[in-house]
Amino acid sequence: MPLASIPILLSPDHKGMALLHGATPPAMTTPTPPPSTPNATDPQPTPPPTTPPTLFAPRSLKQFTLFLAGASFFTLSTLITRRALLRRRLATFPSFYHPSNAPPRLPVNGPLEAVEALSLATVNVSSFMMMMAGGGLWAWDISTLEDLRRKVRGRLGIEAGEGREQVAEEEFEEWLAGVLERKERKGREGREG
């Protein structure tokens, strides 16, 4: 019998022990609130709250695919890394008829090993980051770039609208033009001086 299905009542007269041995629990009644009468001053009834999206909703599954792709990519990269490490370890074992007084001859190519280590590390990190980004986007209910923009603007308190985006783009263009102009001026001064 699972422990979660055994009711235990703690009381000074040890009735809880009797419940463990098969006694029926005392009837418990819950107080009912008095019926309310409709009043003209009461506000309109509120609609029931909307239910949050479930895990199997189409939008949620679409968001979850990036996490699953990252997780499968991470699993694949882990298997590739494990295979490479095992191959290097098995190469250190001497062959059966190798003399015991001479170390096994291992061809060592430093640059090739460095490239292999860097590529394995890059694949592992990128697959892990893909998995984490997919999980984060799924957890924060972001499936499109527009969802991300709306959430960031909402948190920053920026009003949405085409006018605000146009002003921000013009400010960025002015800033970039100023930076490029200063760079060009410094390049001319360097050549002249």
Q: Give the separation between CA 193 and CA 190, rounded to whole angstroms.
A: 5
Under 8 Å between Cβ of 60 and 134: no
Average the pLDDT over each of 6-20, 84-98, 102-116, 151-165 and give the range with the smallest value.
6-20
- Confirm whether 122 is domain-assigned: yes
The reply to whether 165 falls in a domain is no
Q: What is the dihedral of CA 11, 12, 16, 17, to 10 degrees?
A: 170
What is the pLDDT, as a whole number, of residue 50?
60
Let me know the angle formed at the C-alpha of 43 by 39 and 49, rounded to the nearest 5 degrees. Answer: 130
What is the predicted pLDDT for the residue at 155?
A: 77
Under 8 Å between Cβ of 92 and 49: no
Does residue 127 fall inside a structural domain?
yes
Domain containing 62: what range?
58-93+109-142
120-143 burial: b if 16+ Cβ within 10 Å, else e: eeebbeebbebbeebbebbeeebb
Q: Please report, for residues 135, 138, 167, the alpha-carbon distance to residue 53 in angstroms, rounded to integers and kept in the order given.
A: 16, 12, 36
DSSP string, 84-129: HHHHHHHHTSPPTT--TTSPPP----HHHHHHHHHHHHHHHHHHHH
Q: Does residue 178 lie within any of the structural domains?
A: no
CB atoms within 10 A of CB 149: 14
pLDDT 10s digits, 144-190: 888 888 888 777 777 656 567 778 888 889 999 999 999 998 888 88
Tokens of 41: 């001053």
Residue-wise pLDDT for 36-63, tens only, equals: 555 555 556 665 556 555 667 777 787 8
What's the whole-model pTM score? Answer: 0.50
Assess whether pLDDT exceeds 70 at residue 86: yes
Residue 74, in any domain of the structure: yes
If one counts the domains in the chain, the total is 1
The residue among 74, 153, 89 whose CA lies nearest residue 120 is 74
pLDDT in tens, 100-130: 787 767 777 889 989 999 999 999 999 999 9
| In a domain? residue 26 | no
